[in-house]
Amino acid sequence: MKEKQVRINNDKEALKAKNDAIWAMDKNFLLTAFNKAFKERFKKEFQEDPHVGINLRAYYKKSIFFRTCEKGCERALDRYATSARQSVGVNEDAEVIEFFFQPYMDTSGEVTGCCIWQKCLSHEVENILRLKESERKYKETQAIGNVGHWSWDMIKDEITWSDQIFSIHGQVPGKFEATYAALVELIHPEDREAFNEDVHRCINEKLPHDSTNRIIVGDGEIRYVQHKGRAFYDANGNPTGMAGITRDVTKDILANQQIVQQNNELQNFIRIISHNLRGPISNLLMLSKIYDWGKDEMNDDIVRKIEQTTEALDQTIKDLSLSLSLKNAEKEQFRDIALTDVMKDVDGLLAEEIIESKAMIHTDFSKAGTVLGLKGYLVNIVYNLILNAIHYGKEGVSPVIEINTKETDDTITLQVSDNGIGMELTPERERKIFDLYGRLSGVTEGKGLGLYLVKTQVEAMEGKIEVRSQKDVGTTFAIHFKK
């Protein structure tokens, strides 16, 4: 009896630190020990405090919460440790409860009672449901964006695909064994070498994996996919795997091809129109030159208007032809052009304007002295930007033009700033000033062709131009070139 009392006392001490409801009973279902959580639960169920010695069987029968305990305790008293799970309540008050029943014995091995541990699984269930919901939304997001994730275990040569990757490649999960060799087989034969080279470059040089290639799906359908990822290494620097995403970019590629085709057709159309109109325009201009002026004032006025209209049409065709020729820059012709040489040419072309306007031009090419491109294009770009700054200078104030360069890992930025009249620049106005015959303002004369040609030549050299302007402060053009 003393040994049993010592066990009960030890049980009481062990139960003090528990958060879940835990209690013990003897083989007659009499309560021998319990913790605070059990006391609170018992009082909630039966509106009374528990105490050692009460018969639990009677209480088990009264409560939905404890309804599984009677059978569980009986099995424990029969030497079988067991567990049971049940749900209590509905909607927001619903609880998922799990009971564990463990027999305990005396020194002779005889079962003298059992211990019951009640654990609330509601939080675990909520977490599982939340995780499943997150997975569902993640799959929906991948399906909407037509993008999936993958990982490649190089040691086992096993590639794990998300469901969307299988869909992109026209494969069925469970039927297609994803290995590196199997993936390469899906790639268009003409693109396999480039794909392999990019993967090995990524692994050997520890660079990001970024490639776009064609894949063959089903009965020969061609799709375009873009892969992005990175490699992983062990402590010794040996590659162990790669992970990343794959996106179906078929629609983007085909749309871009369509735009290129339409652009080529438009260029051909302009060339044909220019060629066909050149003869009639020349004839009209020639006729105006041999016209016998001064005999009839009304006829003179009519012919003069015809001449002006013809000259404007002729100049428009010349502008369009020039624009088309500028777009056809060959990348193989690009060279590193010294900006100091560009400025020498520009200074010579603008000598008269600089003297007349008393413009001051300050250059700083210490951050980057060269730009990759075509010298003639660069001269024309800088020429037009400086001329633009002079034309849009403040009345009575000498133009001050700052030209400098900046360098990042990927780009060289050529920046031209002035102290001119500036303007309030909205996104729409920023776009418009680079349009053909767009104008920065109506203050000065001009056709507005200069900035269009600048943008055309910048883009022909694979660059990008931006403008910032503030009224009565000045304007800054920033041109970003690839290194």
Upper half-sphere CA count for residue 352 (Cβ side, 13 Å): 1
Instruction: Sheet with 82-88: list strands edge to edge.
Output: 31-34, 21-26, 111-120, 95-105, 82-88
With both helix axes pointing from N to C terminus, report the angle between 375-391 and 339-349 in degrees, rounded to the nearest 10: 50
Reported in sequence order, the residue ranges of 218-265 that DSSP labels E, i.e. its strands, are: 221-233, 239-248
Rounded to an integer, the average pLDDT of 12-33 is 75
pLDDT at residue 367 greater than cutoff 90 = yes
Rounded to an integer, the average pLDDT of 244-260 is 81
Task: Determine the Cα–Cα distance for residues 473 and 422; give it in Å rounded to an integer.
Answer: 6
Q: Shortest CA distance to 114 belongs to which of 86, 74, 68?
A: 74
**CA 269, 270, 274, 276: dihedral to nearest 10 degrees?**
10
Q: What is the pLDDT of residue 2?
A: 47
Residues 457-471 pLDDT 10s: 888 888 999 999 999
Task: Determine the Cα–Cα distance for residues 31 and 116; give it in Å rounded to an integer.
Answer: 11
How would DSSP label each residue in 350-382? Answer: THHHHHHHT-EEEEE-SS--EEEE-HHHHHHHH
Task: Determine the Cα–Cα distance for residues 396 and 388; give it in Å rounded to an integer.
Answer: 17
Q: Please, is 101 exposed, middle or buried when counting C-beta atoms within 10 Å of its C-beta (0-12, 13-18, 19+)?
A: buried
Lookup: tokens for 266 = 């438009």
Q: Shortest CA distance to 481 belongs to which of 376, 432, 408, 399?
A: 408
- Residue 15's pLDDT band, with cuts at 50, 70 and 90, is very low
Residues β-bridged to residue 158? 153
Q: What is the pLDDT of residue 91?
A: 54
Q: What is the pLDDT of residue 360?
A: 95
Task: Determine the Cα–Cα distance for residues 449 and 439; give it in Å rounded to an integer.
Answer: 8
Q: Of residues 216 and 4, which shows the higher confidence score? A: 216
Q: Please, is 158 exposed, middle or buried when counting C-beta atoms within 10 Å of its C-beta (0-12, 13-18, 19+)?
A: middle
Query: Nearest 5°: CA angle at 469, between 466 and 474?
Result: 125
Percentage of the chain with pLDDT > 90? 31
Q: What is the pLDDT of residue 265?
A: 65
Percentage of the chain with pLDDT > 70? 78
Q: Shortest CA distance to 224 belongs to which of 232, 242, 234, 212?
A: 212
Residues 125-175 pLDDT 10s: 566 666 666 666 656 665 666 778 888 999 988 888 888 888 888 888 888
Residues 389-398 pLDDT 10s: 998 899 999 9
pTM: 0.41
The answer to whether 170 and 221 are in contact (CB under 8 A) is yes
Question: Cα 420 vs. chain centroid, distance in angstroms?
Answer: 38
Residues 96-129 pLDDT 10s: 788 999 998 887 888 999 999 988 775 665 666 6
Q: What is the pLDDT of residue 256?
A: 75
Q: What is the pLDDT of residue 67?
A: 82
With both helix axes pointing from N to C terminus, report the angle between 250-290 and 297-327 in degrees, rounded to the nearest 10: 150
Q: What is the pLDDT of residue 143?
A: 63
Q: Shortest CA distance to 226 belongs to which of 251, 261, 201, 205?
A: 251
- How far CA 320 is from CA of 269, 317, 326, 388, in Å, comes to 11, 5, 10, 21
How would DSSP label each residue in 84-101? Answer: EEEEES-GGG-EEEEEEE
The answer to whether 118 and 21 are in contact (CB under 8 A) is yes
DSSP 442: S
End-to-end CA distance of the chain: 90
pLDDT at residue 1 greater than cutoff 70 = no
Q: What is the pLDDT of residue 417?
A: 96
Residues 295-314 pLDDT 10s: 778 887 877 787 777 776 67
